[in-house]
Amino acid sequence: MLECKQIEKYRFVWTLFDNLNLIQTYGINMEKFPHFIFAVQEKYNQYQNPYHNYEHGINVLHATYLFIKTTKVMEHLDEFDNLCLLFSALMHDINHTGKTNGFEENSFSNLAIQYNDISVNMSSIIIHLSKVLESHHVATTFKMLRKKRLNVFHRLSYQ
């Protein structure tokens, strides 16, 4: 049974995406969205990090939403930009270890060995990710989206 607080957080996240009409516009699957959000919460809280946890992800999501709604930035953005901003705000620190990039690199952690100073080629776009944790957050997000039950964007085309 889900505790009430979890459901309230889920509804809050849903509402922010829905208020910008992103759920309907991009066909975000209403059945997969709860599974995805609860998986995001689990990944954020895996290390029991007192700061970079699910609440932090929601706070950044909310701040980004308010920035979009209360400034003139919408004059320069389309709905897809808004989707990307909200999604990246939510996911930006997912599965954070609670350590700094410097600690990860200097301690030769498993993450540092896996992600230190790599480039990722994503459909003709090369992104150079020189920070261990940022690479880990991106990889964690893509791994989650590769799971059929969590891929809330399965209806989007690759164009």
Q: What is the pTM of this model?
A: 0.87
* pLDDT band for position 151 (cuts 50, 70, 90): very high
Give which of 100, 96, 99, 117 is closest to 45, Cα–Cα.
96
Residues 6 or more apart from 95 whose CB is under 8 A from it?
43, 44, 46, 47, 136, 137, 140
* Measured distance CA(24)–CA(39) in Å, rounded: 22
Architecture of domain 4-145 in CATH?
Orthogonal Bundle (1.10)
How does pLDDT run across 93-136, given as a tens digit for each residue? 999 999 988 888 888 889 988 887 554 455 555 554 558 888 89
Q: Which residues are annotated as catalytic?
A: 52
* For the chain, domain boundaries: 4-145
